[in-house]
Structure 1
Amino acid sequence: MSGCSGGGKSTLLAELGRRGHPIVEEPGRRIVKQELQEGGTALPWKDEWAFSRRAIAMALEDRAAAAALDGWVFFDRSLVDAASFLQHLTNEPILTSLAQPHRYHQTVFLTPPWPEIYVNDPERRHNMEAAEAEYARLLEAYPMLGYKVSILPKVSVAERADMIERALADEWRCSGPVECR
């Protein structure tokens, strides 16, 4: 799960978790909470490079830990998000070399910009314009890495969760020895 900040990802992940699916919380929010509690500086508004490097390390750890979980595991953002941000900061072409060897499921669900529900909070201090720029980078990054992107409509949380479960169930049924038509 990826997409625009404030687009409803965390709320959707919580719903999928309530439905019994393992979920992995967003690295960025966990880093910000920890840095704020400890008086650290690896914050996107203080030290973007330190923040992005920690997000990359945490995403790699999360991905490795999720291998032990059963069923569909839903990530709130991924290594692609963190590497895309670092590439944006440095202009170094690191996204492909870093993210390509560490693949996730072929389908990525993106939450689009949704100004009507966007709010700032202690962990999200950037404005809607920055969130939309981030979304544009991700909308380019995931397909470039060979992922199928499914943009979620602006509907209720339950409807979004139903759509994701249906899409993955249909995909699973079509991935066996019999081809779906």
Structure 2
Amino acid sequence: MKTKKIVLTGGPGTGKSSIIRQLEKKGYECLHEISRQVTLEAQKQGISQLFLERPLLFSEKLLEGRRIQFKEADMLGADKVFIDRGLPDVLAYMNYFKSEYPEYFSEICKSHCYDKVFILPPWEEIYQCDNERYESYRDAQTISKFLFQTYKSFGYSTIEVPKVPIEERVEFILNKI
């Protein structure tokens, strides 16, 4: 049995993690966003914002972590696994910040394909800043455009999740699979 890998993507503060938690409550296998882990590990080493100070190193760590998650999804033994952000997110953020990256970043994205990609649009009413999220709402809007463009460049047809209460968002996603 091939595991369906389903990505939830979107700019910061669009509700991805909340949807992942709701899917877990319903018994679905989910893999969480890893950028906060990378950020927190760097902060323990005295680097307040690794992405801002060393964007390529941060992105390499994210790319490797998400590649591991891609493989981990197959080992979970579930028919479908929901993943909070995919490999192309790394390139979208690098493009947003106009940062160069090696060609192998693109090659990894081409060789690791997801079955479905849901994109959550910017939603000002639910957007919140916190210790690891340094982007403004306006940044989130722009990042969302870069995410859409990047996934499209890899041949994905993204499905936009409507701005409705979380339970309705989850049902929308489950009905589209």
- Distance in 1 between the 2:107 and 2:49 partners? 24
- Rg bigger for which structure? 1
2:19 is matched with 12
2:91 is matched with 83
Q: Which residue type is aligned with residue 100 of structure 1?
A: K
TM-score by structure 2 length?
Answer: 0.86
Segments of 4+ in structure 1 off by > 6 A? none
Deviation at 1:38, TM superposition (A): 3.9
Cα deviations by residue, 1:109-163 (Å, 9 ceiling, x for unpaired): 1110111111111110121222222111111111221112111111011001111
Q: Secondary structure at the match of 1:44?
A: helix
Pick the aligned partner of 1:36 from 40, 43, 48: 43
1:59 is matched with 66
Contact 1:110/1:150, CA 8 A, preserved across alignment: yes
| 1:47 counterpart = 2:54 | yes
Deviation at 1:42, TM superposition (A): 6.4
Contact 2:10/2:119, CA 8 A, preserved across alignment: yes
- Distance in 2 between the 1:141 and 1:54 partners? 19
Deviation at 1:30, TM superposition (A): 1.8
| 1:27 counterpart = 2:34 | yes
1:147 is matched with 156
Larger relative contact order (Cα-Cα within 8 Å, sequence gap ≥ 6) = 2
Cα deviations by residue, 1:72-115 (Å, 9 ceiling, x for unpaired): 1111101110133234411766664231111111x211110111
Q: Which residue type is aligned with residue 159 of structure 1?
A: E
| 1:130 counterpart = 2:129 | no
- Distance in 1 between the 2:126 and 2:92 partners? 24
| 1:113 counterpart = 2:122 | yes
Q: Secondary structure at the match of 1:45?
A: helix
TM-score by structure 1 length?
Answer: 0.84
Q: Which residue type is aligned with residue 58 of structure 2?
A: F
CA RMSD for the aligned pairs?
1.9
- Distance in 2 between the 1:59 and 1:95 partners? 12
Change in 2 beyond 3 A, CA 1:28/1:15: same
Q: Return 5+ residue gaps in structure 2 as ranges.
A: 1-7
Change in 2 beyond 3 A, CA 1:151/1:139: same
2:4 is matched with none
Q: Secondary structure at the match of 1:23?
A: strand
- Distance in 1 between the 2:53 and 2:106 partners? 26
The percentage of aligned residue pairs carrying the same residue is: 27
